[in-house]
Structure formats: structure tokens, C-alpha cells
Amino acid sequence: MSDELEGKRVAILVTDGFEQIEMTSPREALEKAGAKCILISNMDDKVQGFKHHDKADKFDVELSLNRADAQDFDAVLLPGGVINGDALRIVKKAQEFMQDIDRANKPVFVICHGGWILISAGLVKGRTITTWPTLEDDMRNAGANWKDQEVIRDGNWVSSRKPDDLPAFNRESIRALAGTAKARVQPSERDALEVRQ
């Protein structure tokens, strides 16, 4: 484990049906670099991961989306999964959370179908992004510059297409977060924030 991201807090925003590896792989990489990752959901206690179309593992929700404040985090990770992406995009609190993160110019790490929430939050116009190929029309219609690439860095956004892109996605996400300025909230204050265990 390195301390490159020590003191950084990353919100992982999901609902049932997220692509499990697109949550677990970046989370592991970010935590190995010293960040603290918090699983946030509109689900009550557990959230269901998927491996493509099949149910995989369930994970404990560490913080309710209703109680999550973008000011308490340095970045957000948006895993994909068709079910997850389609359900999360219509959750008003999720849209507001993403608007607050982006307004503060904090890093957004988005992969696969995770980009749907960015469209519904009105954030993609003029941005360069990659996603799972079936989102190309959605992105272009919302005003994004969509490209079919392994990983794209556009300002505070890092995007990738699919699980095969995870090594590049993880590396670029760590670089993006490591390059951010010191957070306004001190680590000791952050550690006191209540998180469901």
C-alpha cells in the first residue's frame, strides 16, 4: 500500500445491478494507493452486484445516499452495469450529488453504463467521454463528444468503456486524484463523519 492518496475520500455511488468488477477493481486500486472508499446507495442495507447478466455478491451500504454530502468527498466513482445505470439516473439525490461534485471540479471516475447519471444530471454537454458503445447515441444527443477509447481524461473526468479497460482506468483515476489540491476538510474531521459499518 502506498500513501499517494492518503486522506482522500472517494464516494462510490451505486444501486442494485452494478457491474461488480467495475466497483471492486477501482476500489481496491484506490485503497492500495491510500484513499478511503465509501459505498453509497439509495438501497437500505445491502446492494446487489452483477457479473454481466447474473447476480454476483451483495455489499454492505456504508452511507445512505440521502445522508451523503458531496463536500465530504474528494472524488466519486460511478461503476457501470445496465440495471444500475438505468435505475440510478432517475434518482434526484444522485443527480444533485453529481452536480455538486462536478461544480466543485472534483474528479469523476465513470465506466461503462455509469455515464447515464451524468446525462440525466445535465453534465455531459461539451465534455469528451467514452462509455460502453451502446451509450454513444445517448452521449452525442446530450451534447458530449463521445469517443471509442480505452480511457479518456477530460479535465476532472476519467472515463472508460468496459471491464477490459480497468487497468488503464484505475491508473488514470489514481493520477487524477493524486493531482488534486489538498482537501478543505481535514482528515481528522472526515474520520469523525458517521459511516455505517
Instruction: Please confirm, yes or no, whether 52 is among the known catalytic residues.
Output: no
Please give the Cα distance from 10 to 101 (Å, whole number).
11
Please state the separation of Cα 152 from the chain's center in Å. Answer: 15
Neighbours of 161 (CB within 10 A): 22
Does residue 113 carry a catalytic annotation? Answer: yes
In degrees, rounded to 5, the angle at the alpha carbon of residue 91 between the alpha carbons of residues 48 and 184 is 90
Closest CA to 79 of 106, 44, 40, 105: 40
Q: Which residues are the active-site residues?
A: 112-113
